[in-house]
Chains A and B, each alone.
Chain A
């Protein structure tokens, strides 16, 4: 037992949890915590909007596979975190959000919480549906246990954000505290080991399969299961398609990789998955953007579904063989049983078909070559930046071009808001990723509309010396929405024209960053190389035609079969 203030107990627990950096903005109700943080050795990155603190913590977590921490004051600081927390929740990212809260008691011992005190917001009520769990601290002595529980919940099972709401009086009050070695939560016991009988059933199905397909979701990346995934795929010679969140679960230059399925998936992936007789789906929630209409999605295939969240099983798609387990452990068990019962498959007819599809897919990508247009530009970018570079994206056409044309070779190197589709995510997430991986080149593939939502973080990037590069595919429109208006609203354009304002080169310079506008592929390549060499915050403005579509595309409410080319 040691005597401490609540703020000291918080910071001490954060240190014990291995926290090295916190992204945040200070304010009245969180000042005592900052006061302790000042000399704690934990780095604080002062962002310019709390939304970006959450996105940066999220990017940090996704790049590193360890929890990211963000912090804000009560009321508006806390509510500004909301979009970032919801983004992390939808993509199962372990983010710890710490908010200040008004005093529980004022000096005359009356309660303040619940009386609409200055800068009071019910952040527990607000974030309950978008966090895995949240806590409001009620005493100093419980701080170490609660904070430890928060990390435990955020990082185990299906990861997700956890919020800690810290009334100011508990930050300053002093009490005897004890730091527990481990925590027990009676209502939270994530299952991680696969049931042997289910594994056996899955193996039976896979060994009988003529046309097995593996669908890898974000869960494969979250559980660092790429090596195990490859072993199973190569053993079965089964093609691997991914969801958008699973991009990077398999190196996209692997002979068995056919890219992403879904609304903006590759034709190869969308057609191969519909041909499967046995589908092994790992760590995916069968989101609507991935499956297209459900009544045409793998209706005749036997579906094996591995997920650590049992509530995902049967939620969207009926499953034949459920396996509730950690993806890594389940895939390892599958491989062991497979290898004990059969020989590795050779070049089956199915594999030859996959090879054919893969070749067609590559050709198609190549034949779209044109001047300074996104597909070509993204393939050039892949060639010049190191394999382990981290790419983040914004939302819209930029994101889908990146998904289709930028090949990802390693897990945790493609970071994007898949579930919530949050414009403005990519840039702060890049800052978070660079903080986690200072040795890597980090680039945000942006649209001009999205970048404008969080561009003020140029200040953070420059001043905190967290150099990232932003490539703006600048079509002066809200491109993806314009594409929908073109394709599904009779070209009735409304509210999509951004009119080419501002001048992004000048904007970058105003923040002390480097700004370059490029007019050719050659200039683009040069600008990227320069950004890598100088390792300074760089904005590369790439003017592109406003009327480009991202194709292929499965129209909303349609089957994966019905792609527009």
Chain B
């Protein structure tokens, strides 16, 4: 598959879990003019490694170059491209919406149920909803919340694994 079209791609990188690594990675992206949409990072096993999930926009050539530049960084142990069709990708969002009256509240609860989201905090005039899913689902849900008045949103950025038995081998 080679195309010149700009698309969103998901890259997973296994990196050394130590200070400064996120800086090295993000600085390389900035310096080489690559456009990242999100980065999520967390430690994995063994604990001195971390996994970064990076989503980027660009054409084939750009993504290939990006993967090579990532792999070139000393602190990056392994890089792998995750193909959307066999990847499970998830994002989590916390959304604080206005819910001043019972009517708004019951409408919101309805949507929450349909989307299998959950309400994790309630106060007199607002509540916090937690929702997990692929990014499109989160976008759609946020759209539905807008008429109620969205006070704050926090999204984690995508994290992803490839389906099936295949996995990234760390030598």
Interface residues in chain A, defined as those with a beta carbon under 8 Å from any beta carbon in chain B: 124-125, 128-129, 132-133, 153, 185-188, 309-311, 313-315
Contact = CB atoms under 8 A, between A and B. Distances in A.
A187 B73 contact: yes
B171 A186 contact: yes
B69 A185 contact: no
A310 B67 CA distance: 10
Residue among B16, B23, B68, B72 facing the most chain A CB atoms (10 A cut-off): B72
Contacts of A153: 74
Contacts of A132: 74
A111 to B, nearest CB: 13
A476 B45 CA distance: 64
B76 interface: yes
Contacts of B75: 187
18 contacts: A125-B23, A128-B27, A129-B27, A129-B28, A129-B31, A133-B74, A153-B74, A187-B16, A187-B73, A187-B76, A187-B78, A188-B74, A310-B68, A310-B71, A311-B65, A311-B71, A314-B65, A315-B65
A128 B24 contact: yes
Contacts of A133: 74
B61 to A, nearest CB: 7
B41 to A, nearest CB: 16
A315 B61 CA distance: 8
A484 to B, nearest CB: 26
Given A132-B74, A311-B71, 10 more contacts: A129-B31, A187-B16, A187-B73, A187-B77, A187-B78, A310-B68, A310-B71, A311-B68, A314-B61, A315-B68
A250 to B, nearest CB: 29
Contact of A185 (B28, B65, B71, B74): B74
Nearest to B18: A138
A153 B72 CA distance: 12
Nearest to B20: A124
B71 A314 contact: no
A309 B72 contact: yes
A314 B171 contact: no
A315 B72 CA distance: 13
Contacts of A124: 20
A311 B70 CA distance: 9
B64 interface: yes
Nearest to B65: A315
Nearest to A132: B74
Which 6 interchain pairs have the tightest Cβ spacing? Answer: A311-B68, A187-B77, A133-B74, A188-B74, A311-B72, A129-B31
B77 A186 contact: yes
Interface in B66-123: 68-69, 71-78
A34 B69 CA distance: 37
Nearest to A124: B20
A311 B68 CA distance: 5
Contacts of B72: 309-311
A128 B68 CA distance: 18
Nearest to B61: A314
Contacts of A125: 23
Contacts of B74: 132-133, 153, 185, 187-188
B73 to A, nearest CB: 7
A310 B65 CA distance: 9
A451 to B, nearest CB: 32
B69 to A, nearest CB: 5
Nearest to B79: A187
Nearest to B77: A187
Contacts of A186: 77, 170-171
Contacts of B20: 124
Nearest to B30: A129
A445 to B, nearest CB: 32
Contacts of B64: 314
A310 B64 CA distance: 11
A475 B170 CA distance: 59
Contacts of B77: 186-187
A507 B76 CA distance: 51
Nearest to B66: A311
Contacts of A187: 15-16, 73-78
Contacts of B71: 310-311
Residue among A124, A125, A153, A311 facing the most chain B CB atoms (10 A cut-off): A311
Contacts of B69: 311
Contacts of B31: 129
Contacts of B68: 310-311, 313, 315
A60 B71 CA distance: 30
A305 to B, nearest CB: 13
Contacts of B28: 129
B55 to A, nearest CB: 21
A158 to B, nearest CB: 9
Contacts of A311: 65, 68-69, 71-72
Contacts of B78: 187
B56 to A, nearest CB: 16
